Structure 1
Amino acid sequence: MSESVIADFVGKFNTSAAAGGAEPIRGRILLSKKRLVLATDSDKLTIPLSRIFDVAVGKVPPDFGAFFDSTVTIAFNTNSQRHIAAVEASDEKIEKFSTVLFKVLLNGTTMMVKHPAQIGGRVTGEEFYTAKLLLKRRKVVFKGSDTSFTVDLSTVTNFDQKKREIAGASREVLSVRHMQNGQAVTSLAAIDSARKMSLLGRYLRLEYSEITEELEDVELSEEETELLVAVYSADPGVSLAGILDKEPSQVTMMLNDLTEQDLIRDGTDSTQLTAKGRIIVSNKLEDVNV
């Protein structure tokens, strides 16, 4: 590769573009800002990033399933045909590689955004403006020349994708409903490229599913949920026992239970919600605001 390499590791891979069976082969996986290369001592496959239209983490094509464990599956076009490549490595390497791959595919993408498009059920008068997309750990940043906003995925209650007419052109639009300052807010992000919108949707589902999967075994009483909402909304120094009208010792026991479930943690000035705790509160506040 003549350009700078941003990922380089040894793993196993196979691709439907190559001849032979489905058994993976060992080699180097190299990624730059322009291309992905799967290389062995005797051969290599170069995939321009502009040809990649889907990335799935942890999912393996049926023909490859018997051979792979921790994987990234990449769908791409070449010579008017669609192909897939499955890359296998350790959990840590796959997590890092998939994150870097999504960032190199999407960071810097120009989008048309409207924020907030709605506050609760009220449509705002905001207009679309141009912003650059920036992916961060469990966050998506839309950076405009004059203003920017961040969507924390732990506060998202719903997102969907549809086509809309914007500035005289039909564009793919991502609608994200999330909590901001205790209110349900809807933000819109539009892009001309269906390929990039599909990749962004895949990234959001991947990141969001990681958060929600952590909540599958969490069971809370109504009192515990109310305590989480109080932690979210109360100013530092305000008595949680006073808000809930309960004995301080009872609230302390509940806080200890919530800490053990990784829903709250001790902050610098006060008790704070974890990402898991924020999702529960977001869903609770969303129900109230509907």
Structure 2
Amino acid sequence: MSEGERKLMDDRGQFLEAVQNGRDVQDADWTQCRIVITTARIVLVTDEKRTIPLDAISDVGGRYDVNQNAAGVASYVTVRIENDDVLLLRAPEQDEFETDLYRAFIDNTILYVQHPAVKGGVVQGTEWQRAKVKLTDEAIQLAIEDGQYVTIGRDDIGDVESDDQQVNGTERRVFEVEHTDEDGTSVETHLTGEAKQVTILQEVLQEGAERNQANLDLSPVEQQVIMALHSGVSPFDLPDFVETDVEEVEEIFDRLIELDVIETIRERTEVEMTSRGRQVASEEMGNQ
């Protein structure tokens, strides 16, 4: 390896050459290989060795089901090379493999970040800053130039929207990422970077959002409860806010907890006076 180059992954895997010199390979099939990923290249080792510099890769992600051999596989990563070749790669631990691949492109690179751009539903007017990024299996970690260290848990990404915006005088694709901060408050962090960084970020963020997507059949009242909680309404004020009695709101809480939409922070004990308690209260009032 060249000076400064680091190995990120070295494991068995498979590749399928879906496109060669710009033409689909209709009879392409999976080939067993050893896959080595470094901070500078991808190496596929069979009887021969094929080296793909990261600089020669134009795009990563998405599916390219060139034939049934590709379509029949649930998960792989697509690598598009500037000479019009397309390779599909897979490994036994696919999630970890894809993280290592994405790390090769974005670890220790500089992104542009607004944090928090939105907090508790309120726009903060935060300026764009530079941030060094590090990707792990669990999180996107950002060291922002003002000294903030921000962690976006990949299991904590609630929603991702993208838009083209002017960032420091340049038109860029910006990702608006909803997650929670260290206090559990809903925030948005806005992220952008260079073209290839944006491609990788899109894959990482969409994968994180998909982890949390659920096909929930929620009633209108349940939807109102979720939106009220998201906007900062106290759980104790919810019955009045959604014009529903306390018992129904508590039943909704139980259902949302089962669906892993909300979680219990602490429980309030509901009490009523016993006959002995009433007697004690009467004695205390008589003594006053």
Q: TM-score, normalised by structure 2?
A: 0.69
CA shift, 1:164, in A, is 2.6
**CA–CA distance in structure 1, aligned partners of residues 75 and 127 of structure 2:** 43
8 Å contact kept, 2:160–2:206: no
Distance change >3 Å, CA 186–CA 259, structure 1 → 2: closer
Q: Which runs of 5+ in 2 are unaligned?
A: 269-288
Residue number in structure 2 paired with 1:261: 259
- RMSD, aligned α-carbons: 3.9
**Bigger-Rg structure (1/2):** 2
**Percent of pairs identical after alignment?**
22
Report whether the alignment pairs 1:46 with 2:72: no
CA shift, 1:24, in A, is 1.5
- Counterpart mapping for 1:1-290 below 5 A: 4-15=6-17, 16-17=19-20, 21-40=27-46, 42-56=47-61, 59-63=63-67, 65=70, 68-77=73-82, 81-90=83-92, 93-117=93-117, 124=125, 126-136=126-136, 140-145=140-145, 146-151=147-152, 154=156, 157-162=159-164, 164=166, 166=168, 170-176=170-176, 178=178, 187-191=189-193, 193-212=194-213, 215-216=214-215, 218-229=216-227, 233=232, 249-267=247-265, 269=266
By percentage of residues, which structure has more strand? 1
AA aligned to 1:32 is T
Distance change >3 Å, CA 224–CA 48, structure 1 → 2: same
SS in 2 for 1:12: strand
Q: Which runs of 5+ in 1 are unaligned?
A: 272-290
- Deviations, residues 218-238 of structure 1 (Å, cap 9, x unaligned): 1112332344456664669x5
Q: TM-score, normalised by structure 1?
A: 0.68
Alignment size in residue pairs: 255
Residue number in structure 2 paired with 1:285: none
**CA–CA distance in structure 1, aligned partners of residues 218 and 198 of structure 2:** 36
AA aligned to 1:131 is A
8 Å contact kept, 2:160–2:209: no
8 Å contact kept, 2:60–2:199: no
